[in-house]
Amino acid sequence: MPATDPAPLKMPSRLPGDGAPRPDDGTRALLKAGFWIMLVSLLSLLLTETVFGGIGIYGARSNGGWLFLMFALMGVPFSLMLLVLGGAKWLRNRRLSRKATPGTF
């Protein structure tokens, strides 16, 4: 059986810094999800304080308050993680789109 050459590598028709449209890499989805989770978490914290009896020295004062407080305490750190990751990806994409050619700084 004769040896065959492997399939040639396909090179992109445009370089990363030439203003070509980029495929969706999830940056926008991360930022949107982080924003909405943060908004709902802060709203649940506000509802815990106002509608569900507030937060005392031992925690929330009602069962609904505990549920809303738990959601807020889980949602805020998770949304911060999503926002930081999305922001880092956005900055990286912006830096890559400003490069004229690969290899120049």
Domain ranges across the chain:
27-96
Entry pTM = 0.70
The closest alpha carbon to 28, from 78, 79, 90, 80, belongs to: 90
Judge whether residue 62 has pLDDT over 90: yes
Selected residue with higher pLDDT from 16 and 91: 91
Does the pLDDT at position 11 exceed 90?
A: no
> CA 87: distance to chain centroid?
7
